[in-house]
Chain A
């Protein structure tokens, strides 16, 4: 590692630690991921296009992205509300509620999946109250939105919360001194400050929802063309030993994830600039 000479740095171990980092990263992440790209490159363009635009695949994109969008929207609204309430207001049990927000990170997705499916099934705790009104959640696309909302919620709360904590009270006081009403202060002063973090949280929650599998398949019903998500379609193709089909669809999903990652990085840069 003579390449990167460390000037004025007496700390030892740069070469071995960076070397091991790059070695382990390549072995576990980069080489396996490149396998996916190389395998897709083995397909002809025509095969690739016809696989990833087959009607059943297109329908799965619509279900997956549509539901993820809806879930991210719900999470943006309630996530901001929860973040605001947790930072600004004092009420008994606040710390426990704060810790509980991370439950979807900690609860294994399969457990979340079977639980949500049970609660929202027609005779479940919540489902039995919705059934008489003709609202079916479990085994419909609505169930997919619900599961995606569950797993995406912490992303919005945990992105917006630190920004609310950082808001300088002098800005609000200045707005009031200049004659703004509380509503005007919220809308014109606070909301613009929160906006970059809300968008970041929205994007994180959306990206997570698009790739999610475990919590969705139990509640989705998994009907082709109606409530079949793209990750499930990859697994179905694998089980039919259609490796090429699975690889092609996976490649589309990987491209989507990478574009989301880029968007999220840009959003985070923007919000950091805002913070300064």
Chain B
């Protein structure tokens, strides 16, 4: 699913000649805020309220449980593999697409965005169809005793798929907007290609990269549907944090479920904060150009 594109040229317009009467204005603000409070703030508050329902001791105990710890470990490993790979891809793709012109560029961008429009369940299913026992490579893998799906490699593959576009789709418009004059100047002055990239391009897109990475990381750590299809749901072995939340919840162990879920909610809050700062920095940089 493609996230909406942002425009970087924000204009503040407080001194507008035309606006609604004050009463209408406050009514609209009130309706919007009540809607957001009910739909966004209430669920967020509920996570923490449920997590700490039985006190801090129970909360900490739920987090210290071995199965929880191993799910945290697996989630960290998954993100540690996924994010650098997709970061490297995002930067390479953005370089080729934003700095050069070639036929089929529009199609390539659409294809890069494809994983966002595919249902998470399908993102997992396709790997089962390839690596599962009845899949294309299934018999061969079994012969050689290699497990991909219902094991950690499958979880990582599905996560790479669902987070595939994040860095690329943020960097492509940003690098396009910045043009290539600065890089050309560096090359003319005798810098090598890599020097130009690390000293000129990278500092210019730093906040764009941070923005893409933080969103990629949030999704990698929080993905549920795709991972649920390819995980064997083996406690302590192939359960990521979101899958562990599901298991605890289905066992009616609500306090523990929400305690573990609160970790993911913390992650979401940190993500929103970093994202807001990065967005602001990117806007600022583009206005300076």
Binding site for B on A (CB under 8 A): 4, 6, 9-14, 16-18, 20-22, 24-25, 28-33, 35-36, 39, 78, 81-82, 84-91, 95, 97, 99-116, 118-119, 125-126, 149-150, 153-155, 158-159, 162, 165-166, 169, 172-173, 176, 182, 185, 200-201, 204, 207-208, 210-214, 218, 231-232, 234-235, 238, 241, 243, 246-247, 250, 253-254, 257-258, 260-261, 264-265, 268
Contacts and interface: CB of A to CB of B under 8 A. Distances in A.
Nearest to A201: B4
Contacts of B268: 103, 106-108, 111
B89 A33 contact: no
Interface string B248-262: 010000100110010
A128 B157 CA distance: 42
B144 interface: no
Contacts of B160: 28
A12 to B, nearest CB: 4
B205 interface: no
Nearest to B99: A11
Contacts of A101: 36, 40
Given A82-B32, A100-B40, A211-B118, A204 B4 contact: yes
Given A21-B108, A36-B126, A173-B17, A213 B224 contact: yes
8 contacts: A25-B108, A29-B164, A32-B127, A106-B269, A114-B246, A173-B18, A214-B242, A261-B114
Nearest to A158: B4
Contacts of B273: 99
Interface string B223-249: 111001100000000000011011001
Interface string B10-23: 11011011111100
A185 B18 contact: yes
Contacts of A173: 17-18
Contacts of B271: 106
Interface string B131-163: 010111000000000000000000001001100
Contacts of A24: 89, 92
A18 B42 contact: no
A25 B169 CA distance: 13
B2 A250 contact: no
Report whether over half of chain A's contact residues are helix, strand or loop; otherwise say mixed. helix
Given A213-B224, A235-B229, A89 B25 contact: yes
Contact of B180 (A11, A30, A99, A125): A11
Nearest to A21: B93
Nearest to B280: A95
Interface of B: 1-7, 9-11, 13-14, 16-21, 25, 28-29, 31-33, 35-36, 38-44, 46-47, 50, 89, 92-93, 95-97, 99-103, 108, 110-112, 114-115, 117-122, 125-130, 132, 134-136, 157, 160-161, 164, 180, 183-184, 187-188, 193, 196-197, 215, 218, 221-225, 228-229, 242-243, 245-246, 249, 254, 257-258, 261, 264-265, 267-269, 271-273, 275-276
Contacts of A99: 272-273, 275-276
Contacts of A234: 121-122, 125
Nearest to B258: A114
Nearest to A256: B119
A14 B96 contact: yes
Contact of A253 (B6, B25, B122, B187): B122
Closest 8 CB pairs of A and B: A108-B222, A211-B119, A214-B224, A213-B225, A12-B193, A158-B4, A162-B7, A106-B268
B279 to A, nearest CB: 9
Contact of A107 (B184, B222, B246): B222
Nearest to A91: B29
Contacts of B29: 85, 89, 91
Contacts of A81: 28, 31-32, 35
A75 to B, nearest CB: 10
A29 B114 contact: yes
Contact of A155 (B3, B32, B97): B3
Contacts of B184: 10-11
Contacts of A150: 39-40, 43
B4 A10 contact: no
A82 B38 CA distance: 13
A79 B225 CA distance: 26
A97 B43 contact: no
Contacts of A261: 2, 110, 114, 117
A243 B43 contact: no
Given A28-B160, A111-B264, A260-B117, A165 B92 contact: no
Contacts of B9: 166
B223 to A, nearest CB: 7
A151 to B, nearest CB: 10
